[in-house]
Amino acid sequence: MQFGIFSVSDITTDPTTGRTPSEAERIQAVVTIAEKAEEVGLDVFALGEHHNPPFFSSSPTTTLAYVAARTRTLQLSTATTLITTNDPVKIAEDYAMLQHLAGGRVDLMMGRGNTGPVYPWFGKDIRDGIPLAVENYALLRRLWDSDVVNWSGQYRTPLQGFTSTPRPLDGVAPFVWHGSIRSPQIAEQAAYYGDGFFHNHIFWPPQHTQRMVEFYRQRYEHHGHGSADQAIVGLGGQVFMRRNSQDAVREFRPYFDNAPVYGHGPSLEDFSRETPLTVGSPQQVIERTLGFREYVGDYQRQLFLIDHAGLPLKTVLEQLDILGEEVVPVLRREFAALKPAHVPEVPTHASRVAARGGARDATVHAPADDVTGQAREEVEVR
Amino acid sequence: MTTRTLAVVSAGLSTPSSTRLLADRLSVATVDALRARGDDATVEVVELRTHARDLADDLVTGFANTSLQAAVDTVTGADGLIVVTPVFSGSYSGLFKTFFDVLDKESLTGRPVLLGATAGTARHSLVIEHALRPLFAYLRAVAVPTGVFAASEDWGGADGVDRALAARVERAAGELADIVAGRPSSARPADPFADVTPFDQLLRGKA
């Protein structure tokens, strides 16, 4: 099982000091956080994509490539990549490029994005959210899995004899997750392709997560990728820890009360009861997290949200220390002991290459002019 | 004998509240009217006052907490609804509207509903027609033709209820009972997972 963190890249005022970090500070901080995640023994760092303040992460592959260069084992992922408003051609290119630079330590999570105004900024309409996610991903798969693509669809210009470059590393595309809080169609999409399904598992009660995961597992089996309990499931989660649980509650409360998304509503206690939020001792986090398995089954990836709502970098790094030293080692051991042998781990680049019968150079050597990119036939016609 | 479920939504704020009094009159009359048509009925009352904070939390978080979810399930699972609001600033109260705002917009489609309102003065008596009826039309619920409005003066007659109000209550209850008794029992809210379009159809653009 993999453990890690995900960041939504919000730039939020620290409610205890009234201070708001600059973009420059937050961008450096997120790199520090990612490096620290590897240092304390976590497996995954995932970064969100947003195209409006108060977020900075409009260009996740740039950040992730930089993080890749400064880490050795950390798996890099997204939370989420906007499959609706990004051109699938650009996603295919950017993430294949990142995959090469990171030596295969890349997977990504598709999401529709829930910010209405973003769609028109990229020439799209939020009412087409699901059909866009369906068509764009179908094209993305073609672009990664076929060297030459002829394609036409509803939402972008047709492609004739198009080759997306670079080709996926070793001829194997990055593993893909699909994230959705409430749309069964997205769980169905993940199941259809045999991809992973990730539930945010932060904003809503666990019953919603349970229902979505159950549906995804059922459909995964239906589409013939394996038994329901072999489907690849990831969960989010939100924790804040101090040795003493009262200290955790006291310290986190102002961040909770003023948090974007759910702040100024329910009390910390109400929200902790109704959702998976856990604010308390490391032991409480261990127990709550182990409990997730009871309603989603044996799952493959657990990501925690720890750097949001204006929490200062120093605090976030302390949280990572606690996760790495006290929480994740226990979770790793306990989850591993509970997991039956036929339940797979998260597919990695190495395991996917092995499953494909080994690495191959996937480079497409076009018979084209090095400088102009024109193919011989085109040149000769002139 | 079929047992029907009636859910009563009352947005009254005081105790006792005339809104709740009207809701009770309407539910008793509807149960009687159903019995007269050969059906039994159970009544569950949702007092929105007890969910005031839950509703505000739902607006902020996007989900109903356990307590509110139980109320939502009661309402969306009932065979017939009786909804009563006090008139605030010329319309239904914000609390009343918020409850219907947080319901899934499909969840009351086709559901029989009796509309009621209370106010301090008869000058608000068209509030059911100009405020409540459009709201329930939007929700595609089936509102019975008679809405029951009660102003302070309606409560002053013999045995607590003016005869004209009693007649309106009885007529509205009869209209609700007619629809409820004539339908197959309770259309439960659709399970969003029950009929998800298979993916090959989604791929062909038939979402």
Which residues of chain A approach chain B closer than 8 Å at the C-beta? 130-131, 134-135, 138, 154, 184-185, 188-189, 191-192, 203-205, 208, 211, 215, 219, 223, 261-266, 270-271, 273-274
Question: Which residues from chain B sit within 8 angstroms of residue A130, using beta carbons?
Answer: 202, 207
Question: Number of folded domains in chain B?
Answer: 1
State the residue for tokens 């989604």. Answer: B202
Question: Which pLDDT does position B207 carry in this prediction?
Answer: 45
Whether residue B134 contacts residue B172, with contact meaning beta carbons closer than 8 Å, is answered with no
Of A138, A188, A274, the CB nearest to B196: A188
Measured in degrees and rounded to the nearest 5, phi and psi for residue A85 equal -100, -15
CB contacts of A261 in chain B (<8 Å) are 61
| Residue ranges in chain B modelled with pLDDT below 50 | 207
Residues counted in chain B: 207
Q: What confidence category does residue A103 fall into, taking pLDDT thresholds of 50, 70 and 90?
A: very high
The string of pLDDT tens digits covering residues A162-208 is 999 999 999 999 999 999 998 999 999 999 999 999 999 998 999 99
Residues A55, A58, A64: CA angle, nearest 5 degrees? 105
State the pLDDT confidence band at A374, using cuts at 50, 70 and 90.
low
Whose tokens are 């902790």? That residue is A272
- Mean pLDDT of all residues in A254-258: 97
Q: What distance in Å separates residue B205's CA from the closest CA in chain A?
A: 7
Kindly tell me if the per-residue pLDDT of A368 is higher than 80. Answer: no
pLDDT of A312-337, one tens digit each?
A: 999 999 999 999 999 999 999 999 99
* Whether B1 contacts chain A with CB within 8 A: no
Which pLDDT band, with edges at 50, 70 and 90, does A113 fall under?
confident
Question: Is A227 a residue whose pLDDT tops 70?
Answer: yes
Give me the domains of chain A, ranges plus CATH numbers. 2-381 (3.20.20.30)
Q: How far is A220 from chain B (nearest CA, A)?
A: 11
Q: Look up the domain containing B35 and give its range.
A: 3-203
Contact B60 A262 (CB under 8 A): yes
User: For an interface test with A, which of B193, B197, B201, B206 has the most A Cβ atoms less than 10 Å from its Cβ?
Assistant: B193
Cβ–Cβ contact B57 with A under 8 A: yes
Q: Is the pLDDT of residue A379 over 50?
A: no
Q: Which amino acid is residue B115, in one-letter code?
A: L
The nearest CA of chain B is from the CA of A32 a distance in Å of 31
Query: Pick from A185, A265, A274: which is nearest to B202 by CB?
Result: A185
**Which of B65, B192, B197 is opposite residue A274, by nearest beta carbon?**
B65
B190 and chain A in contact, CB less than 8 A: no
Q: Out of B61, B192, B205, whose CB is closest to A131?
A: B205
Q: Does residue A382 have a pLDDT over 60?
A: no
CB contact under 8 A, A271 and B61: yes
**Helix H segments across chain A?**
23-39, 60-70, 88-101, 118-121, 129-145, 184-193, 206-222, 245-257, 268-274, 282-296, 313-322, 328-338, 349-355, 376-381
Which residues of chain B neighbour A133 with C-beta distances below 8 Å? none
Cβ neighbour number for residue A257 with a 10 Å cutoff: 16
CB A44 within 8 A of CB A51: no
Q: How far is B65 from chain A (nearest CA, A)?
A: 6
Q: Do A134 and B63 touch (CB under 8 A)?
A: no
- A:B CB pairs within 8 Å: 65
CATH number at residue B167: 3.40.50.360
Per-residue pLDDT tens for A260-298? 888 999 999 999 999 999 999 999 999 999 999 999 999
pLDDT the model gives residue A219: 97
Closest-CA residue to A348 (of A290, A301, A292, A306): A301
Does A203 sit within 8 Å of B63, measured CB to CB?
A: yes
Interchain contact B158–A (C-beta under 8 A):
no
Confidence class for position A348, pLDDT limits 50, 70, 90: very high
